[in-house]
Structure 1
């Protein structure tokens, strides 16, 4: 089934949406079923998709008291960039499926909110159009068979003003996403990855693989290895962020090789079904990395309390993906801005109620415990 370029939208008062679940409910009721499944779905039986939420729900914060929180801030820095909160918008492909303005609308919402926008290599808007919104932008890459095209992508990203390169390393092949295979989900003719030359296979699915699986098989290089980080470093002066790390040994090696940041991520449950949740993997990664590089986390963040939990578990910042898409699909830039304002408000509330004046206090003084962990200090 070929998706519509933009889903039907419903009249809804954005001020009536009081949490990210409200945004998701409103957006998914307005979207075509195949597009909703493309965004919401995970790989296999979606065990890891569910585990991302379960793990965060199990974490319990141990707040501090008798601290003056009359002035409370969520501001922080991420790779030297000042942001209003420790939240970035994760890379997501083909955002013009959600709204005609696509990436430009979501990036503009990020610019207004003062947070970093991570532009997917598979964006349906150019890097230049994205950075023209004024958003602090990072460029995300997959490892391509065509090294010349990768070099050109890096040059275009740098020329457009992107501030970091995010190499996603957990997609040697695309996970088997059954919802997309069953629906025969493909892109409409008006949508493509405009920063790539030749979106091979992405409009043609089959009974055994989705169009996106076919595209990945034809264009992504599964031979990606540690030595390729040196190739990347030689071709860009931008900070390098490695996304998709879960094992502490991999985190250790990446830090030793001098990456600037890691993103603890299982791709939102869309790759290896049965993989550990990001929240469960995060503490061990932070422990082995120490302060050698920043450690971010994504997959499953749905509230300001989740943000504070991740910070207390060792994250420098977090990324949100699907919630931003829901807001974009619901009301374009205004809907995405509502999502970012809700999570900022919730994060400020959670910081203050944890007895902290800012993000640094959360890192230094708030404990985050799994529900089954005994209380011993």
Structure 2
């Protein structure tokens, strides 16, 4: 759990271990963390987790925009005691940091979401469960509660083309203790992602990252309907299809795949697992999603509603006018639109437009404690961390994910004190200088 003077405590732990010749498994800087994670991940995992849209210009813009703001330290202030505490939707949190949702996490580590949940629970900060997770939300919630009863968690919602599934996912999120519902708006269709395309690799087509669906009774009701309407076409049989079959077999539940007497050809022809994957691909997200749908969401849930993927101040104003509870300023980690506005530049515009009227979270390209400090000073109430915790997960499971985010929180704490501040709630743009 994050505590007072967390940064110094974490430093001391690392240096004390160093006396005995023990070095941290998770590097303290993002560049080395990324380098080691790349060496650990296979090509598919690296492409999906680290890759961006198009030529990667949005990812570069995220970094460049942060670098245009310089921190201006103040001195001779008593910073011996500092507070990173914030409150989000009635929950007191020890630090203004959340574990962002990342789909198909099993590309980095088996049962990824369960391990990420445990990592977040140990730190006491929320994990936003991925709608494209590799474990049912109930399993992740149980693991978090076993680690720290009542550990904070949110749920990310991709709005399906079938409202039965939307209703079911929301109901399950409420039952498993979600404190907020984060509706992702910027992925009504997948962006152009060359790293995945060049490998012909879409995790979901292999049954990876669809566990929220295959654990949902409404989803299987939809699959059953589609099977009854099927034309009976047989799949193409190839070496690649056989490899994909085994991947689906590992990721889609059912006794059919555990029957050793069933021939490979019979398994390949079996309709249920293939239909589940195809159903997911057909209905997972809805390009027709619009403001009327968001307005209807208040009738579906009492949870706080947060819109993820807002980049334009006019959209932020409309969201606030509609009564949503929060906004996540995000360009999806640079994975959706090449050449998009940076998350930092959008944060500035949106904080100016609605910062006094709603809760604002920042996401995409915030990789260090200094990055989080800048985001808070620019108007964010909290920051979502994505790739760093996935890289830590790849290196050392739950402990690695925890340590990657703990390092960010520790650096935030030290940056707060070294710049003459004692409370993240008091940060504003006077702590920064615009270098443009």
TM-score (norm 1): 0.88
1:138 is aligned, of 131, 154, 160, to 154
For 2:289 and 2:52, the matched residues in 1 are separated by 23
In the TM superposition, what is the alpha-carbon distance from 1:83 to its structure 2 partner?
1.6
Higher helix share goes to which structure?
2
Conserved? CA contact 1:354–1:366, under 8 Å: no
* 2:187 equivalent to 1:171: yes
Q: What's the CA shift string for 1:197-252, capped at 9, x where partnerless? A: 3699xx69xxxxxxx99965653111111111122111111000000001000001
* 2:211 equivalent to 1:194: yes
Q: Which residue of 2 aligns with 1:33?
A: 43
CA RMSD in angstroms, aligned pairs only: 2.2
In the TM superposition, what is the alpha-carbon distance from 1:367 to its structure 2 partner?
3.1
* 2:427 equivalent to 1:362: yes
* 2:84 equivalent to 1:84: no
Q: Which residue of 1 aligns with 2:299?
A: 234
2:343 is aligned, of 267, 271, 278, to 278
Conserved? CA contact 2:44–2:107, under 8 Å: no
Q: Over alpha carbons, which structure has the higher Rg?
A: 2
Conserved? CA contact 1:59–1:370, under 8 Å: yes
For 2:317 and 2:278, the matched residues in 1 are separated by 31
For 1:174 and 1:146, the matched residues in 2 are separated by 18
For 2:90 and 2:137, the matched residues in 1 are separated by 21
* 2:318 equivalent to 1:253: yes
Q: For structure 1, which segment, 57-66 or 99-108, has the greater mean C-alpha deviation from structure 2 after superposition?
A: 57-66
5+ residue gaps, structure 2: 1-21, 146-150, 214-218, 224-243, 246-276
Q: What's the CA shift string for 1:166-218, capped at 9, x where partnerless? A: 00111221111011010111438573411113699xx69xxxxxxx9996565
Q: For structure 1, which segment, 76-85 or 122-131, has the greater mean C-alpha deviation from structure 2 after superposition?
A: 76-85
Q: Please show how residues 199-348 of structure 1 align to structure 2 within 5 Å.
A: 218-348=283-413
Conserved? CA contact 1:63–1:366, under 8 Å: no
Paired residue total = 351
Q: Which residue of 2 aligns with 1:20?
A: 30
For 2:401 and 2:432, the matched residues in 1 are separated by 29
For 1:94 and 1:237, the matched residues in 2 are separated by 28
Q: For structure 1, which segment, 256-265 or 79-88, has the greater mean C-alpha deviation from structure 2 after superposition?
A: 79-88
Q: Which residue of 2 aligns with 1:61?
A: 71
Aligned structure 1 segments of 4 or more residues deviating by more than 4 angstroms: 212-218
For 1:278 and 1:154, the matched residues in 2 are separated by 28
Cα distance change on mapping 1:99 and 1:153 into 2, 3 Å: same
In the TM superposition, what is the alpha-carbon distance from 1:70 to its structure 2 partner?
0.8
Q: What's the CA shift string for 1:57-82, capped at 9, x where partnerless? A: 22112233322101122222222222
5+ residue gaps, structure 1: 1-11, 205-211, 373-377
